[in-house]
Homo-oligomer: A and B are copies of this chain.
């Protein structure tokens, strides 16, 4: 049982330098003077016996060893934060700050209802939402920048636990005079064949899912790619083609619109919205309670 040769603080400094690629800026971010940070890093390199950063006068570059160490250090610091969080969890799991990620195709339609509901239920809970695409949220989750995230389970999420919120079926949006707009009941895969469909930009998990429906139904994706569901709907209203929407978005996007909406009955035409968190996160229990409230607030 010997004392540890390095400190958590030294690891924080190393991570900060790797992020900032500059000793001075890293020192600022850590709220210490640049010489203090230099000294600690030198000491860390000393006890490890490896040079972690190549300091050219012009720039700072992590060595192979440095990259590896910073990677490990990140995970270590997340684990250390979790020790802290776990302890707080024993005091009161549902007070303090809870940082949650949410994808753009859910956020604007769900949060207006969910946020007040959560606030009513957990008075002392201070929620911070981060809106981004799935892959960015998964990274943020892994690095401990958020405690959980509202995502579609159909995307690639890595090693997480989850609690399902709702199944969100897809609908077809078409101009009222379009042949598919005039039909009754759910749209079938056969009806979609050869139809021109507008989709979201790359990186949205809803794009991937909608594209999958199109491929399986032999529908055609049009060239144009929208950055939001609102844009998609406006394009359809302008007669540019058809589009798919998650049911969640229908109420907000099609209020006072004359566009026709029909559920889609084709393979893969739905998504499973869930609250996910890191495996073994100490916040699992409170997050499940949060998930229950979100589920109740689902439109």
Tell me whether B88 and A1 are in contact (CB under 8 A).
no
Tell me whether B50 and A87 are in contact (CB under 8 A).
yes
Tell me whether A72 and B83 are in contact (CB under 8 A).
yes
Within the complex, the shortest CB–CB distance from A212 to chain B, in Å, comes to 33
Tell me whether B90 and A50 are in contact (CB under 8 A).
yes
Q: Does A79 contact B (CB under 8 A)?
A: yes
Tell me whether A86 and B64 are in contact (CB under 8 A).
no
B-chain residues with CB within 8 Å of residue A282 when the two chains form the complex: 68
Q: Does A73 contact B (CB under 8 A)?
A: yes
Tell me whether B31 and A16 are in contact (CB under 8 A).
no
Contact A88:B30 (CB < 8 A) given known A73-B83, A76-B76, A79-B79: no
Q: Does A12 contact B (CB under 8 A)?
A: yes
Contact A7:B8 (CB < 8 A) given known A83-B72, A87-B48, A90-B68: yes
Contact A79:B75 (CB < 8 A) given known A8-B4, A12-B1, A12-B4: yes
Tell me whether B49 and A65 are in contact (CB under 8 A).
no
Tell me whether B3 and A84 are in contact (CB under 8 A).
no
Q: Does A69 contact B (CB under 8 A)?
A: yes
Tell me whether A9 and B1 are in contact (CB under 8 A).
no
The one of B64, B73, B84 in contact with A5, judged by C-beta atoms closer than 8 angstroms, is B84
Q: Does A251 contact B (CB under 8 A)?
A: no
Contact A91:B3 (CB < 8 A) given known A76-B79, A82-B72: no
Tell me whether B8 and A30 are in contact (CB under 8 A).
no
Q: Does A182 contact B (CB under 8 A)?
A: no
The proximity string for A residues 50-71 relative to B, scoring 1 for CB distances below 8 Å and 0 otherwise, is 1000000000000011001100
B-chain residues with CB within 8 Å of residue A8 when the two chains form the complex: 4, 6-8
Tell me whether A31 and B1 are in contact (CB under 8 A).
yes
Q: Does A216 contact B (CB under 8 A)?
A: no
Within the complex, the shortest CB–CB distance from A93 to chain B, in Å, comes to 12
Tell me whether B49 and A91 are in contact (CB under 8 A).
yes
Tell me whether A9 and B16 are in contact (CB under 8 A).
no
Q: Does A124 contact B (CB under 8 A)?
A: no
A85 to B50, CA, bound (A): 11
- B-facing residues in A242-299 (Cβ within 8 Å): 282
Tell me whether A4 and B80 are in contact (CB under 8 A).
yes
The one of B12, B50, B77, B79 in contact with A72, judged by C-beta atoms closer than 8 angstroms, is B79
B-chain residues with CB within 8 Å of residue A128 when the two chains form the complex: none
Tell me whether B87 and A76 are in contact (CB under 8 A).
no
Central interface residue in A65, A76, A83, A84, by most chain B CB within 10 Å = A83
Tell me whether B1 and A30 are in contact (CB under 8 A).
yes
Tell me whether A69 and B83 are in contact (CB under 8 A).
yes
Within the complex, the shortest CB–CB distance from A285 to chain B, in Å, comes to 12
Contact A88:B16 (CB < 8 A) given known A9-B4, A83-B69, A83-B76: no
